[in-house]
Structure 1
């Protein structure tokens, strides 16, 4: 599955498709050519999901107020409480 094909998918839809392909490949009941095509689709979906996760991570920020009262946005550190 190419990146263009994934353009309309949500993260959840792409992940669901990826999981279905993995189950199909693990079952081992598909022809070699079909397995190769499924693997190629899975790689595209994996890359799409990783990109979406990275985009979401970059959007998650926290508001920090400086001593002078000026608010600013900084990346949210996973160690912050």
Structure 2
């Protein structure tokens, strides 16, 4: 299965992932199609996680001086 999710935005991947989950939840999908949907869902989930990690790495925390005034920003700490 080709991974065409690499150029998807977070929103696109999430929307399609929701569609895949709904199809699987319906219980009306033949086994072979369920397997393909599951694999597609795994790719979409990975894309969403990657996009969230990218966003997290870009988030900055505002630094304050002793008086509580902003002095700049620093990268957010990683968990």
TM-score of the superposed pair, with normalisation by structure 1: 0.76
CA 1:18–1:44: 2 relative to 1, 3 Å: same
Deviation track 1:7-63 (CA, whole Å, cap 9, x = no partner) reads 221100000000000000000111110000000000010011011101101100024
Partner Cα distance (1:74, 1:64) in 2: 10
Structure 2: segments with no counterpart, 5+ residues: none
CA contact (8 A) 2:60 2:76 kept: yes
- Report the TM-score when normalising by structure 2: 0.78
Shift of 1:65: 6.0
CA RMSD of aligned residues (A): 2.4
Q: Secondary structure at the match of 1:5?
A: coil
Q: State the partner residue of 1:50.
A: 49
Matched, 1:27 2:26: yes
Q: Name the CA distance, whole Å, in 2 between partners of 1:18 and 1:72.
A: 34
**Number of corresponding residues:** 74
Structure 1 unmatched runs, 5+: none
